[in-house]
Amino acid sequence: MEPTTPQEACFEAGIKFGTLYHQFAGTPVSPDSADSLERAMEEAIENQPFCESVTVDILEEVLAAELAERSADYAELTGRFVEVEMVVAYEGCTVRTSMAMDGDYPRMSVDELREG
């Protein structure tokens, strides 16, 4: 059975989320570098085929609270510091996706799928 176009569009979104998360997890980040890291993540993923847009929000207040408990001036990037929205357009299908924490897990979700 061949995958449907909407299934392929969702697959493309999954590839981009896997790349985004696993490429940048562990990157040193501080409140001072959060903006530039957000832009770097967005631009890297937007280079991929079918990616319409990516918005990365490093949760600086969560990061600052973490750093208040540490002696270092930075932390390693993990899902608890990041929220992401992404739009993928593939052969007439548009997939809106997001990533946010669900308990202690960074959940990547398909929020909307439009055909045509």
Tens digit of each residue's pLDDT (9 = 90 or more) over 52-77 = 999 999 999 999 999 999 899 999 99
Q: Which domain holds residue 96?
A: 5-115
Which residues are within 8 A (CB) of 12 and not within 5 positions of it... i.e. 6 or more apart? 49, 50, 88, 90, 95
The number of domains in the chain is 1
Tens digit of each residue's pLDDT (9 = 90 or more) over 82-92: 999 999 999 99
Distance from C-alpha of 88 to C-alpha of 79, rounded to nearest angstrom: 21
Q: Work out the pLDDT band at 81, boundaries 50, 70, 90.
A: very high
- What pLDDT does residue 63 have? 95
Check: CB of residue 93 under 8 Å from CB of residue 113: yes
What does the pLDDT average to over 13-33? 94
Q: Which candidate, 55, 56, 57, 51, places its Cα nearest to that of 95?
A: 51
Q: Work out the pLDDT band at 116, boundaries 50, 70, 90.
A: confident
Domain holding 53: CATH number?
3.30.1300.20
